[in-house]
Structure 1
């Protein structure tokens, strides 16, 4: 018989003597019970009685957009039309909410809204995000991820879609290089993207990158389109000079 105590996980090296066991009050009718308490059982080892189905809300709403079932508003974007549901758009975007329930009467069914200054494929990707809350697949849209992110960032800013805008910023941070930093920094300044602007400044804080950009037309383009950002950049440059 092996004897255990609370100080040793695997037990002691000594065994209880037979006569001590026979005299023990725990031995009754030539038998005894052992109880083992363990309060450290991981939660993942606990028995599972109910399996919760994963959420498929994004798929359901995506199908609603695809089938156009119950659609009550149509958008004309560059000659291409898109049917949608004004309640979904209004719930996701305060701009759509004001546009669809403010200037338009709720009784106007299947009304047509014209969207200018946006390409049809960008609006299609925008709707896909609104319904599914997922960043559109660049391959399915037929565009490179950086191009898609640039266009969607502008669209997200236009319709006040904060999460989409932040997703675009996050993706564009990966594409900052000598050839793109001026355009991305201009975009970050005009569309109020502090995280993306910080990433551009971080890239330009390296002397080699800064010299390469200064040798190009990037600075001239930046000073013309976004002078406030150019001013911040010049302040950063002056701080880098010993």
Structure 2
């Protein structure tokens, strides 16, 4: 269709407002080359109030012979002004989309959106005094991380320096707690830690989770959660013993197994004791039309040799 061109769903109602889904097969802009984009558009009522939402976009298979399991999923929060839209410019790699489409017997899939209007009274209406607002603590902690007020720890990662609060780091991760309690730095007014063998973007995602117990939203200003990034984040979560983050990464990776990624995922799963991911990789490899292709790929011999000698690559 070309960059910037889209197909639209019919209008649907949710939370007292009207919406539609816009899907750009060739991306919504030139900065999204190689990706398909998906957006939720706020249709109306025209001239009405803004709508504060949490919404999820995912792709569902429509193959009658398979369960309707989501292949891609991303959740974000956004406050919509009238006639505005928000979503994921890098929703799914076009190569993955083509691969998915080639596997479907009927040749089509569904882009699904689940949208919740958190709380936004209409103009002229009375506020519902019994409505309980959403939790504020994660947002407050995220702002504390971003503005750096009261920060007493400096963390150097790959040339970048992150400011943080030692009591939060120590409360969330036993590894951070041990490092911050080391006699050489424990009594300093501002502690400084060097984090080695980690990319700054991955550490930034990990730090966001430490403060908010969630991944940062995947939108225009955020790093796209690609398969490689999820593998690195899983390794980082295991390193700092953030078990919930590790499980989140493992769940995302289980939905992204293909010929290009299965060997690297199997190696990561083996090294970091991810049984669910390991079982999913083995199940994928055991498929009749997959085994031969996997055996021919670079890295298969190294992986099998590592298992035979007791090593993990």
Q: Which residue of 2 aligns with 1:62?
A: 142
Runs of 4+ in 1 over 6 A off after TM superposition: 228-231
1:98 correspondence with 2:200: no
Q: Which residue of 1 aligns with 2:280?
A: 199
SS in 1 for 2:276: helix
- 1:209 to 1:194, Cα distance in 2 relative to 1, 3 A: same
Q: Which residue of 1 aligns with 2:229?
A: 148
1:123 correspondence with 2:203: yes
CA distance in 2, matches of 1:101, 1:132: 23
Q: Which residue of 1 aligns with 2:163?
A: 83
CA distance in 2, matches of 1:89, 1:227: 39
Q: Which residue of 2 aligns with 1:161?
A: 242
Q: Which runs of 5+ in 2 are unaligned?
A: 1-127
Q: Which residue of 2 aligns with 1:220?
A: 301
Q: Which runs of 5+ in 1 are unaligned?
A: 1-47, 232-242
Give the deviation of 1:119 after TM superposition. Answer: 1.1
- 1:124 to 1:137, Cα distance in 2 relative to 1, 3 A: same
TM-score by length of 2: 0.55
Give the deviation of 1:150 after TM superposition. Answer: 1.0
Aligned length: 184
- Indicate the structure with greater strand content: 2
- 1:60 to 1:98, Cα distance in 2 relative to 1, 3 A: same
SS in 2 for 1:175: coil
Q: Which residue of 2 aligns with 1:181?
A: 262
Q: 1:171-205 CA deviation, whole Å, 9 max, x = no partner? A: 11111111211110011001111110011011112
- 1:90 to 1:228, Cα distance in 2 relative to 1, 3 A: farther
Give the deviation of 1:104 after TM superposition. Answer: 4.8
Q: Which residue of 1 aligns with 2:154?
A: 74
- Indicate the structure with greater helix content: 1
SS in 2 for 1:176: coil
CA distance in 2, matches of 1:143, 1:92: 25
Q: Which residue of 1 aligns with 2:191?
A: 111
- 1:105 to 1:230, Cα distance in 2 relative to 1, 3 A: closer
- 1:204 to 1:218, Cα distance in 2 relative to 1, 3 A: same
- 1:55 to 1:137, Cα distance in 2 relative to 1, 3 A: closer
- 1:117 to 1:230, Cα distance in 2 relative to 1, 3 A: closer
